[in-house]
Structures are given as structure tokens and as C-alpha cells.
């Protein structure tokens, strides 16, 4: 699904052709949105703000770790396919080794995604349903690779993109993860360019300033999404 016309900058777009009700049922007032952005753009910061203001957060990175925890079906399938060299001594998945293995290997990456994505989506639907039942107005699914993963966008009432100039993304990722400029750049280059993401978003939050600027840019978008839930 694509936004109707240009995405909103700083202020919310009031009409767009994504599912206008998201996962809302006749009896509740919850809308489900996706929050995405390139590595280091500030998704986690925006998710924290939205959570502080009352949203429920469903984080696909957290779920991705959960579906391969020891004893899980996900871990069993991953090890069946990739081998037990990807198990650490304590029985947990060696995520770093697996990450390196698939980084330059597209077919292995697809296989891994084929195992994990359905499990992550199932868990995410469970969390969304729980939030709906609890009467939360806004459920925010944080999905870093929303567009790259080919996920069905029609389940979301809005798609919020957080973005920042590339040099800033690289600086932030280097500082946060303690990695080299080359590695930060390689990670960023493996993702869809921000300009392409921007054409698919319904709302854009620019995060080129201070944390206070980010909070100021995020609030009107949060308010309009909550207002949309109440309609
Ligand atoms: P993402 O979740 O999109 O990868 P994060 O929210 O983790 O990005 O932000 C990346 C890093 O940059 C974090 O260390 C975060 O605290 C920092 N950061 C994010 N936004 C700002 C900002 N406006 N000013 C200063 N630091 C920021």
C-alpha cells in the first residue's frame, strides 16, 4: 500500500489509503501502526517517546530474539538448517556468528528469514491482540526492515518513518554500537535508501536535531494517530 500523495513532514497526514481501521474491530478503538527507519535513525528513541505517551510497543527485534530462545521451535529449525556450530556453549543461538554468515550470503539470508518471519509475525499478532483487548489506543510495531522484508503493509493504519542525514546515522551507530565507520556504512548500505522509504511512509519524523527537537517533532504525529484511533 502506498500513501496518497506526499508524506507528511512534522504534521500528520489526515487521510491515507492504508487500512483506515487497521486491526480495529467493531468493539474497540485501537489502531496499529508501523514505525521504521534506517539503522541509527532514532526509531528506538521515538518508540520510547510514544510509549511514554501511552502507546503499546511491539518490537520486532525483541520478538526476533524471543522466537529463537532455548527450547523454541525457531531455534530448532535454525539449527536443523544451519547446523549446531551456531549454538553457543550455553545452548543459546550464536546470533553474531549467524549474522556474519548471512551478511554476504543472500540465499542463506532468505532461508533464515523464511524460518523466522512467520514466527515473528505470529508473536506480533498475539501482542497486538493483547493490546487491543487491554484497550490501548495505539499499538506501534517497530520494524526496522519493514519495506525490505516485503511485509504486508495493509495491516497498518499508518507508516511512520524516522530519518536523519546519512553522516549522522553513521556517527550515531558508531557511538552506540562501538563499531568502525566502515562497518556502520556497510550496515547502512545493506538497507533500502532513505529516499525510497520516504515515498512509502505516511508520516515522516526528521531526527537531525537534538533529542528535544525529536520530541517536539514526534508529539503532533502521536496526537494525530491517537485522534485517528478515536474516529
Ligand atoms: P535506531 O533504533 O533507529 O537504530 P536509536 O534510537 O537507537 O536508532 O538511535 C541511535 C543512537 O543515536 C542512540 O544511541 C540514540 O540515543 C542516539 N540518538 C537518537 N536520536 C538522537 C538525537 N536527536 N540526538 C542525539 N542522539 C540521538
Q: For the segment 127-154, what is each residue's pLDDT rounded down to a tens digit?
A: 999 999 999 999 999 999 999 887 889 9
What three-state secondary structure class fits 140? strand
CA distance 129 to 208: 34
C-alpha cell at 177: 554500537
Of 135, 162, 185, the last residue of a domain is 135
Average pLDDT of every residue of the chain: 88
CATH of the domain at 114: 3.40.50.300
- 125 and 11 share one domain: no
pLDDT of residue 18: 52
User: Are 96 and 81 members of one domain?
Assistant: yes
Look at the chain and report how many structural domains it folds into: 2
Q: What is the pLDDT of residues 25-42, one digit of tens each?
A: 444 689 999 999 999 999
Please check whether residues 147 and 40 belong to one and the same domain: yes
- Same domain membership, residue 11 and residue 122: no
Can you give the C-alpha Rg of the chain in angstroms?
18
Rounded to the nearest angstrom, the gap between the alpha carbon of residue 223 and the centroid of all alpha carbons in its chain is 20
Instruction: List, for residues 176-230, the tens digit of each pLDDT value.
Output: 999 999 999 999 998 999 999 999 999 999 999 999 999 999 999 999 999 998 8
Residues 200, 149 share a domain: yes
The DSSP output letter for 30 is: -
Expressed in angstroms and rounded, the spacing between residue 45 Cα and the centre of ligand 1 is 6
**CB-defined site of ligand 1, < 6 Å:** 37, 39-45, 172, 176, 207, 209-211, 214
Q: Tell me the average pLDDT across 87-96.
A: 95
| Residue at which a domain ends, from 70, 104, 135 | 135
| Final residue before a domain boundary, out of 135, 166, 185 | 135
Helices 106-133/73-82 angle, 10° precision: 180
Q: What is the pTM of this model?
A: 0.85
What contacts 146, CB < 8 A, 6 or more positions away? 34, 36, 153, 159
How many angstroms does the Cα of residue 51 sit away from the middle of ligand 1?
16
Q: Are residues 154 and 44 in the same domain?
A: yes
Domain of 72 in residue numbering reads as 62-135
| Shared domain check, 155 and 41 | yes
What is the best residue among 143, 145, 172 to mutate for testing ligand 1's pocket, by most ligand atoms within 8 Å of CB? Answer: 172
Residue 26 and residue 126 in one domain: no
Backbone torsions φ then ψ of 189, nearest 5 degrees: -70, -20
SS3 90: coil
Atom of ligand 1 nearest to the CA of 37: 3
Res 168 pLDDT > 70: yes
73 alpha carbon – ligand 1 mean position (Å)? 33
Amino acid at each position: 500500500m502506498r500513501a496518497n500523495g506526499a508524506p507528511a513532514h512534522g504534521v500528520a497526514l489526515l487521510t491515507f489509503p492504508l487500512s483506515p481501521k487497521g486491526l480495529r474491530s467493531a468493539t474497540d478503538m485501537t489502531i496499529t501502526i508501523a514505525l521504521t527507519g534506517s539503522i541509527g535513525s532514532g526509531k528506538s528513541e521515538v518508540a520510547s517517546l510514544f510509549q511514554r505517551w501511552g502507546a503499546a510497543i511491539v518490537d520486532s527485534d525483541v520478538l526476533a530474539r524471543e522466537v529463537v530462545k532455548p527450547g523454541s521451535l525457531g531455534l530448532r529449525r535454525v539449527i536443523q538448517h544451519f547446523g549446531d556450530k551456531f549454538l553457543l556453549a550455553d545452548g543459546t543461538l550464536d546470533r553474531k556468528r549467524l549474522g556474519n554468515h548471512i551478511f554476504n550470503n543472500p540465499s542463506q539470508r532468505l532461508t533464515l528469514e523464511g524460518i523466522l518471519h512467520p514466527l515473528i509475525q505470529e508473536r506480533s499478532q498475539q501482542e497486538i491482540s493483547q493490546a487491543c483487548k487491554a484497550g490501548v489506543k495505539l499499538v506501534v510495531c517497530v520494524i526496522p526492515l519493514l519495506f525490505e522484508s516485503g511485509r504486508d503493509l495493509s495491516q497498518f493504519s499508518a507508516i511512520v518513518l524516522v530519518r536523519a542525514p546519512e553522516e549522522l546515522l553513521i556517527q550515531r551507530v558508531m557511538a552506540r554500537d562501538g563499531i568502525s565507520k566502515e562497518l556502520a556504512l556497510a550496515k547502512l548500505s545493506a538497507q533500502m535508501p532513505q529516499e525510497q522509504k520516504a515515498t512509502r511512509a505516511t508520516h515522516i519524523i526528521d531526527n537531525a536535531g537534538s533529542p528535544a527537537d525529536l520530541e517536539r517533532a514526534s508529539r503532533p504525529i502521536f496526537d494525530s494517530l491517537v485522534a485517528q484511533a478515536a474516529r
